[in-house]
Structure 1
Amino acid sequence: MQSISEIVAVAAQRPAGLLLEGEAGIGKTTLWLAALQQARDNGFTVLSARAWEAESKLAYGTVADLLADIDPDALATLPNVQRVAVNRVLLRDDAGGPETDQHVVAAAMLSVIEAMATDNPVVLGVDDLQWLDACSRDVLAFVARRLRGRVGVVVTERTEPDRGGTASWLHLARPDALTRVRVSPLSLGGLHELISSRLGRSLPRPTIVRIADVSGGNPFYALEMARAIDTEPELPHTLAELVQRRVADLDDDASDALLAAAAVADPTVELLARATGNDADRMTELLEEVESRGIIEITGNRVHFTHQLLARGVYVGASAPRRRRMHRALADAVVQPELKARHLALASSRSDPEILRSLDDAAEGARARGAPSAAAELLDLAIRLGGDTPSRRIRSASHHFRAGDHDKAHDVLAPALEVVRPGMLRAIALNLLAGICIYRRSFAEAATVLTEALQHCDDNPPVLAQTLLMLSFAQANQGDYDDALANAREAVKHAEVLGIDVLTSQAIADLEVLKALCGFGFDEGSLNRAIALENPDVDVPIPFRAHSTAAQVLAWAGRLDEAREHMEVLHKRCVDRGADGDMLFVSVWSTLIHVWRGDYSAATRVADDAIEHAEQIGGDHPLVIALTVRGLAAAYTGRIEAARADATAAIEAAERFGAPLLAEWPIMTLGFASVSVGDYEQALRDLEPLLAGFDQISCTEIIKAGFVPDAVEAMVALGRSGEAEPMVAALERNGRRLDRSWMLAMAARCRALMFAAAGDVAAAEEAAAQAMVEHDRLAMPFERARTQLVLGQLQRRKRQKQSATDTLTDAQRTFERLGSPLWADRARAELKRTNVAAGRSAELTPSEQRVAELAASGMTNRDIAASLFISAKTVEANMTQIYRKLGIRSRAELGRRMGPRG
């Protein structure tokens, strides 16, 4: 009870959980009920449900029990897609609406629980986790991981004495928030007290000792033996034997009623009456007799066994033919197609066309209710009952894939691919296999599979268009942009002919992003049409959503506020649907947009959320994405070690599953981090993989060429300006062709650096000024301030002291406002060089002072020239003057002379 009190106390402040585990009958449910009552006594709102061990149960059964306890007014405030999902779970009238699945249901439940917890703390209680249906398990796992408010989770799980539990899926946000307690057997004294209190009498000590020895301290087992002790001279040796003795003298009608109750998850008086051929009054009479023996309890019209072991004992104790007869009767009595099909399947031991049709219909009904895992389970049952056909396997694999069990989907699909004939069905199967490959990031394998699929769908335009769309996506993710673009154009052509709006929207969206990636820009009219044709109620993969494309290409074009608006649409949809995988996509682009806009606090927040989502999903792919965005945010906020650690880990993870394109942005982060600390040689080593392939890319949008400004700065600083020329020329050429302010601004800044290194200060200043003109069209404050650093240096060099001071001061303030300390320090240092600082040697000019400092730090004349945008001859002339004025003859003397100030 101490653990219960502690959990209740903690849950009043933050999420906390208690998992009571132990063998059957050990007392878990008793403690669970006590915990829920203690929570109620402490002002908690309690939502509770019991998962029952039944051969036939409805998808979302446990979740439906939990939702039934929630005020309907609270459910009415949910977003539309979540309300639809809840209505389907609760079997309310469904007049259509958007597609839903377990993620949407989970998002709805989480929303309601968190809202309730703002008024009063909430306890979510579930008894017997091991009997949860797959849909309920997925929902509860999702909710538990994301709880943030004042919510407690109290659950039980049956385990074997020498084996661990199966609820490894249950986690709270904090690893230490879930306490696991194994319920131990009762002592001899505990058993004596239990039996005395429950039976109202004491047994002799020798009898208690015998009961303790046989039961092993199991409370349920001990109580059942104590009840039998008056009529049985010998104690039973098994729990099954005990149960049979409890029900042995019941008449046939009562026995049938008990068997019917044991065969369903939620028995009612009316259901049991229909199944056994009785009227409700007769059934009530029979059940009341059984209730008087403590075997069942009747609450309203619902019937429950007092313990799961009694239900199991009744069911297992019946002969197989009798169980099959009862399931047949229950199939006629239940209304839900899913339950009817399950009972029919349990009523037969051979292939039966009627049963197979029933299972097919029930699977379709489960899919429509948003229960893909249940739909897959029903089809798998049909396969095991002799209905093993390629069509049924393909449908089952599709449902498994939709439910998130991609490995199971592959295992179910593989045998079908071996026998399915050429034609449309094979094309559909290959498309599904390609989807599994894409999920596993095996894009090359997916492209191969889809290329074969094209051979089988010429006579089915919808499948053909979808195949071309997926093939285009797979090829693009391999970096094969030309073929991807060609297939995207074909997909649009076929979609347009079909006139299917949602497919046309996807195809246009895919085409526009590929056009941009191939260096052709995008067509705004087509993009707007894709957005207009998009159907928010259809669950389309996020890369093919028009808002996704709009967010990307508008961001590349520098229209960041518009891009952010599209990303907010995607974000809301992901939240409403509980779409974790899609949320990672949103995290990447949101972080990039926030960074480009200079909102580093928002970027950091989104990046941290991405890490959390990646940890919840698991696997290398989510990890690459999350580490990429977190490392990027860290680099811009000056946390260089953290940035390098995350970027390096992301690159390594991308290499592990063969996705080199995903390593591009972490590589850019490494290069930017090195430039931020002035380590230009390291920057070029970091960027080498991108530099080596630059001449092979036709796209210089920021998404592909974001590393160019860092590479050029490093090359110029190291006296390698010639190597930078092709990259700068490409930015200039493409920037003019596409009217991209980012390309033009970066190209002009890079030109300024190159002119300055060559000694042409006037041309350098003119280029920097042109860059500033382009920045006026570009809402990227960091890049503008970075260009101001270059312009301020050039103004100082031309002895425009006041202009240089104003320019550099503005840059410093921008960096400080953005929260980029390393670059603020750079601007501050440049300002100091603009004016003669107090304490400087009176003999040296400001320019000579700076050259002396750099020479004393160990830099060569060439490095000094690159750093200060002057020629090497100018450095030599300055060094001559420095030696003369200071009366020294060597760099060693200069180092000693400048050291204290350094």
Structure 2
Amino acid sequence: MSQIGVRRRPAAAAPGRLRERGEELRAIAAALAAARAGEGSLLLVEGPAGIGKTRLLDAARCRARELGLDLLSARGAELEQELPFGVVRQLLEARVAGLGEEARTALLDGHAARAVRLLDGAEEGVAGSDPLPELLHALHWLCATLAARRPLVLVVDDAHWADGPSLRWLHYLAGRVEDQPLLVLVAARPAEPGATVPPATALGAVPGAVRIAPAALSAAAVAEAVRERLDVADEELCAACHRVTGGNPFLLRELLTTLRDGGATVAAVEAADARDVSRSVLARVRRLPQSAEGLVRALALLGDDAPLDVVAELAGADLSSARANADALAAAGLLDAGPRLRFVHPLVRASIAAQLPAGERAHLHGRAARLLHARGAESGIVALHLDAAEPSGDPWAVATLRSAAGRALRSGAPEVAARHLRRALAEPASAELRPRLLLELGRAAAAQLGPGAEEDLTAALDAAPDDAARAVAALELGRVLVLAERPIPALATLDRGVRAARGLGDSELLLRLEAEALTAGNTSLERARLVPPRAEALLAQVTAGATVGERLVLAGIVWHWAMAVARSAEETAELAERALAGGATLAVATADAPLIHSAAAALTMADRLASAENHLTAAMEEARRRGSVSGLALAACWRSWAGYRRGALAAAEEDATLAVRLSSRSGRGLGSAVALSVLIECRVARGAVAEARDAFARWHEPEPMGETTLYGPLLASEGRLHALAGDLPAARRALEACRERHELLGLRNPGSATWRAGLARLAAVEGDGAEARRLAHEELEIARAWGGPRNLSMALRTVAALSDDGARRRELLEEAVALGERSEARLERVRALEALGAERAAVGGEGDLAVARELLRAALDGAAACGAAPLVHSLRAALVRAGARPRRLRSSGVGALTPSERRIAGLAAEGLSNRAIAEREFLAVRTVELHLTRSYRKLGIDSRARLAAALRDGR
């Protein structure tokens, strides 16, 4: 472990002879050659301690240098598991620091910028957000950029001891190297007690991963090694060595060292029992001078690569004698012979560390912490030793642990931050500082969704010395309780914060508390009782929307209005626009704030689709600039919702896919149920029902959102899938579940989930016409009260379909078509035109047929523009029956490009490289290449140079 600065692994010499490893070496050579040719991969070397994983990695390094590949190496260490991104920093810090000014500027202009700030020690987290997903993405792009300059090989040894964030990054990166000149080569034990996670299991599950599992040496290979080291040819002795070591190369070397020092007999082999490495190691330590024993004990505590002067001072030795003792330890086979202090194997270090009495070990860790602190080591390194030392009441220790905790939290390692803060509280911290530490501990626990978050934040709230601290602690605890789906305790806590904040004169803090309280109320099963009076009481205070706090409260109010139909669509849309303030709220709150998307969703339900999409597009761009995966997922989710209603099926499906994929990748599910619902509806609308079922099967997790407002749309979509499959009982169960949820929550707007229309259709099929008509008329009544043209048009069609009166059907459908003419919801307009066209065609008169043909042609054009293939086919058939000849649809030119192809082609025409487009769009480079290839074919061009002209001319 490098205590000052970052550890550097010395260049590995070519490994000695590797017995029985030909197959493994060929796999390594093939992976290196593929990376050189531009095909990346993950190669996992898996095996127990001592099997020879490190020697295979040394062979890989030598071959990589021969091929001229860029090589970066790191090694996990048991003592460094609490150092966030420690392995990542070993790999990348020196390389980034050594880049020229031009190269660093290029990195800082893209998604890799956050990774550069992390490695520079300047990364600052965004309040209330989880930085880890964005850091993983930034680090991925940093490696992709380095690999684009020169094929890159990342070698990580002893990954079973790597820190948690580094392991998360390795897993993230390994799934995204396929189209890059980048080899990730990792060695790990299958399962290590006390390790963060079993990386061999997780990494081995990455699609395309190649696993190498070196086997134990055969009896013949062991005999060959015995004869080389001991100059004996006794078959019985060789067999005994194989039996005792099990063919483990490291254990064999330890045994042969013991036999060389004490006599090579079968009895000696049986007595040595090389599996007990500690016995052999400690015997060699005892034969050394006492000063050498002190040095090796200090190194075992500090870890590999600790500077010699630091080890010497901890051991109480002068530098000259420390050098001599290091040489003696290397001669005894305990340390490597290289320029850095490093044990020959982790088992050797573990053997020496294990024999230290607990009290002495804690004392030495305390001395090491003070020594390193005095030498200016970073707080994270010092905190590793403080965590293992006995509390001593030192203020500097509390400050160091707190600093390390803050850095860990900003680096996406809240579990490490919590551990440091608990240790700081035990030092103990002063009475004045204790409430602040409890609050920080609660935040750390909340960031990892830990079970202790509520307890820690409750302690912080109870210990708060004044109203200011009490209000902040209540806000933090309230958010945790909302996420835990405990809205009633959340409201009680937030109200406690509101009471504290009222006397402070801090109106913004008070409004943030009120906004969170509205969020809590909106997710409660008692929403209908709790939210309306609170929303009405707050409205007069925040109507102006002059501050961010006021506008966030407005966003909570408009979500309530839209979902409960508490006001008309027009009033709701006006207030939603005020909440968003033309992008001013987004600029401060960022796309990570759910209330931003609540206001945009209210605009969507009010049929202000273009405005909603504009706000959400701005949110997506803001999230992209910051590299925020969670913000991008939220914005893409709600833009997909608006896009589907507008009838932009391809664009909406693309946004929904992005949202579901990013939510799954980052582990954040907020909005993912809505996005999955849109994905299903888009695929059904374009005729890809099997793909819709596949998406549901792949991404659906039962009850991921608990009893919140966001799960209903997915239940309605599930009901649609069951109905299309002919499973009417399952369709009814899903729709009834949606009804139950929405009625409990007081959600009335049909735009949130069309369960009434779905149940009405089922009732009609089942022969219960009265129930079908009751549900249809109930939805129509609510839609008229709301006033949004899309919902009203849909409700009119449902009532018309259930009416036995032809004149009444025609009247209802004509109103639906008229609403469609002033609505931005193109797909609903198409369906209304189709229904009225079919109604007029059924009359059969020449005048009616002429009108029907006109209606059906308009519907066909609209359906084609939306990409609704089933509607296109049914409308073409209806036109033929009405005596018309439908027009041919275009299959080439700009009009034939999908929205995704059009956007990527446009970016390429602007001069962006494929890699720059991939970075901007969070796509793989290969995906960009495929989109452009399809675009070239549809546009009839053969080069990028002709792309701008083809798009401009509309070919």
Q: TM tier, shorter chain?
A: 0.7 to 0.9
Q: Secondary structure at the match of 1:267?
A: coil
Which of 594, 600, 604 is matched with 1:543 structurally? Answer: 594
Match 2:74 to one of 49, 68, 90: 49
Following superposition, the deviation at residue 714 of structure 1 comes to: 8.3
Alpha-carbon distance in 2 for matches of 1:196, 1:808: 91
- 2:155 match: secondary structure: strand
Q: Deviation of residue 66 (structure 1)?
A: 1.8
Deviation at 1:239, TM superposition (A): 1.2
Contact 2:108 2:116 in 1 (8 A): no
Of 115, 124, 127, the match for 1:86 = 115
Change in 2 beyond 3 A, CA 1:539/1:322: farther
- Equivalent position amino acid for 1:240 in 2: S
**CA distance 1:803–1:314, change in 2 (3 Å):** same
Please say which of residues 104-113 and 807-816 is displaced more in the overlay: 807-816
Please state whether the residue corresponding to 2:45 is helix, strand or coil. strand
Aligned residue in 1 for 2:18: none
The secondary structure found in structure 1 opposite 2:751 is helix
Report the secondary structure of 1:54's partner residue. helix
Gaps of 5+ in 1: 838-902
Matched, 1:474 2:520: yes
Rate the CA distance shift 1:385–1:505 in 2: closer, same or farther, 3 A: same
Q: Deviations over 1:523-582 (max 9, x none)?
A: 26623438314456x7775313x3x24532333343434433433444455566676655
Aligned: 1:267 with 2:313? no
- Structure 2 residue 173 is matched with structure 1 residue 135: no
CA distance in 1, matches of 2:245, 2:728: 75
Shift of 1:51: 0.8
For residues 630-670 of structure 1, the C-alpha deviation after alignment (integer angstroms, 9 at most, x for no partner) is: 3222321234466578779999823x874263442134435
Corresponding residue for residue 758 of structure 1:
805
Structure 2 letter corresponding to 1:636 = A
Q: Map 1:707-856; keep pairs closer than 5 Å.
A: 724-735=776-787, 740-743=788-791, 745-746=793-794, 757-760=804-807, 764=810, 768=813, 771-796=816-841, 797=843, 799-800=846-847, 801-835=849-883
> Is residue 357 of structure 2 the alignment partner of residue 313 of structure 1?
no
Q: Identity over aligned residues, as a percent?
A: 22
How far apart, in 1, do the equivalents of 2:465 and 2:200 lie?
39
Map 1:194-205; keep pairs closer than 5 Å: 194=225, 205=235
CA distance in 1, matches of 2:256, 2:741: 81
Aligned equivalents of 1:663 and 1:160: distance in 2? 38
User: Are 1:635 and 2:684 counterparts?
Assistant: yes
The answer to whether the 8 Å contact 1:376/1:396 transfers is yes
Relative to 1, partners in 2 of residues 1:605 and 1:759: Cα closer, same or farther, differing over 3 Å?
A: closer
In the other structure, the counterpart of 1:374 is 416
Moved more, 343-352 or 331-340: 343-352
Amino acid at match of 1:268: P
Cα distance in 2 for partners of 1:223, 1:288 equals 20
Give the SS at the match of 2:381: helix
8 Å CA contact retained: 1:45, 1:121: yes
* Contact 1:815-1:823 within 8 A present in 2 as well: yes
Greater alpha carbon shift after TM alignment, 348-357 vs 641-650: 641-650
Distance 1:162 1:272 in 2: 28
Aligned position for 1:592: 641
Q: Which amino acid aligns with 1:543?
A: P
1:556 — aligned with what? 605
Post-superposition Cα deviations, 1:311-349, rounded to whole Å, max 9, x if no partner, equal 333433445565424524344334212323333454436
Counterpart of 2:142, as a letter, is V
Change (3 A) 1:146 1:441: farther
TM-score calculated relative to the size of structure 2: 0.72
Is residue 337–residue 361 contact of structure 1 (8 Å, CA) maintained in 2?
A: yes
Partner AA of 2:93 in structure 1? A
Question: Once structures 1 and 2 are overlaid, which stretch shifts more, 100-109 or 828-837?
Answer: 828-837
1:476 CA drift (Å): 0.9
Distance 2:711 2:514 in 1: 26
Q: CA deviation at 1:593?
A: 2.6
Matched, 1:189 2:220: yes
Note the alpha carbon deviations across 1:466-495, whole angstroms, 9 max, x for none.
432222112112362673355467778889
Q: Secondary structure at the match of 1:704?
A: coil
Instruction: Name whichever of 19-28 and 243-252 sits farther off.
Output: 243-252
1:134 positional shift? 2.9
Report if the CA contact (8 A) 1:651-1:667 is conserved. no
Aligned-pair CA distance for 1:259: 3.7
Tell me how far apart the structure 2 counterparts of residues 799 and 716 of structure 1 sit (CA, whole Å): 32
CA contact (8 A) 2:732 2:762 kept: yes
Describe the SS at the equivalent of 1:17. Answer: strand
**2:705 and 2:711 in contact (8 A); partners too:** no
Q: Deviations over 1:677-731 (max 9, x none)?
A: 9999998897566678999999876633656777788899968657644533443
Partner of residue 480, structure 2: 436
Is the CA contact 1:146–1:172 (under 8 Å) kept in the aligned structure 2?
Answer: no
In the aligned structure 2, how far is the partner of 1:90 from the partner of 1:695?
51
Give the deviation of 1:734 after TM superposition: 3.3
Given the superposition, is the C-alpha separation of residues 651 and 311 from structure 1 closer, same or farther in structure 2, using an over 3 Å criterion? closer
- Please, which of 441, 445, 462 is the counterpart of residue 396 of structure 1? 441
Question: In the alignment, residue 86 of structure 1 is paired with which amino acid?
Answer: A
Q: Secondary structure at the match of 2:806?
A: coil
Counterpart in the other structure of 1:33: 58
Letter of the structure 2 residue corresponding to residue 469 of structure 1? A
Structure 2 counterpart of 1:263, which letter?
L
The corresponding residue for 1:105 is 135
Aligned residue among 331, 342, 361 for 2:384: 342
CA distance in 1, matches of 2:626, 2:204: 20
- How much is the aligned-residue C-alpha RMSD, in angstroms? 4.9
Larger Rg belongs to? 1
Alpha-carbon separation, structure 1, partners of 2:541 and 2:398: 36
Compared CA separation, residues 741 and 515, structure 1 to 2 (3 A): same
| Counterpart among 86, 90, 103 of residue 65 in structure 1 | 90
Aligned to 1:891: none
Deviation for aligned residue 1:50? 0.3
CA distance in 2, matches of 1:748, 1:671: 21
- The separation in 1 between residues aligned to 2:44 and 2:65, in whole angstroms, is 18
In the TM superposition, what is the alpha-carbon distance from 1:163 to its structure 2 partner?
12
Equivalent residue number for residue 404 of structure 2 = 362
CA contact (8 A) 2:498 2:513 kept: yes
Aligned partners of 1:401, 1:144: CA distance in 2, in Å? 28
Give the AA of the match of 2:83: L
1:174, CA displacement in angstroms?
6.8
Does the CA-based 8 Å contact 1:360-1:379 persist in structure 2?
A: yes
Structure 1 counterpart of 2:911: none
Q: Is the Cα–Cα contact under 8 Å of residues 636 and 659 in structure 2 kept in the other structure?
A: yes
Q: Which of 489, 494, 514 in structure 1 is aligned with 2:560?
A: 514
CA distance, structure 1, for counterparts of residue 761 and residue 705 of structure 2: 33
Question: Which stretch has the larger CA shift, 821-830 or 168-177?
Answer: 168-177
Give the whole-Å Cα distance in 2 for the aligned partners of 1:430 and 1:128. 43
Q: Can you list the C-alpha shifts for 1:113-152, whole angstroms capped at 9, x where unaligned?
A: 3345556654433211221223323333443455553444
Cα offset for 1:596? Answer: 2.1
Q: Is the 8 A contact 1:58 1:338 kept in 2?
A: yes
Residue in 1 that maps onto 2:584: 532
**Corresponding residue SS for 1:231:** helix
Q: Does 1:601 align with 2:653?
A: no
Q: Is the 8 A contact 1:125 1:153 kept in 2?
A: yes
Letter in 2 for 1:89: L
CA gap 1:112/1:657 in 2 versus in 1, 3 angstroms: closer
- Which sections of structure 2, spanning at least 5 residues, go unmatched? 1-20, 886-955
Cα deviation for residue 789 of structure 1 reads 0.9
Report matched runs for 1:563-574 at 5 Å.
563-572=612-621
Cα separation, 2, equivalents of 1:81 and 1:590: 24
Question: Residues 90-123 of structure 1, C-alpha deviation per residue, up to 9 Å, x if partnerless?
Answer: 3446799988733332111112233455566544
Verify the 8 A CA contact 1:158 1:165 in the aligned structure 2.
no
What is the deviation of 1:61? 1.2
Inter-CA distance 413–144: structure 2 relative to 1 (3 Å threshold): farther
The answer to whether the Cα contact below 8 Å between 1:782 and 1:814 also exists between their aligned partners in 2 is: yes
SS of the residue 2:184 aligns to = strand
Aligned positions, number: 822
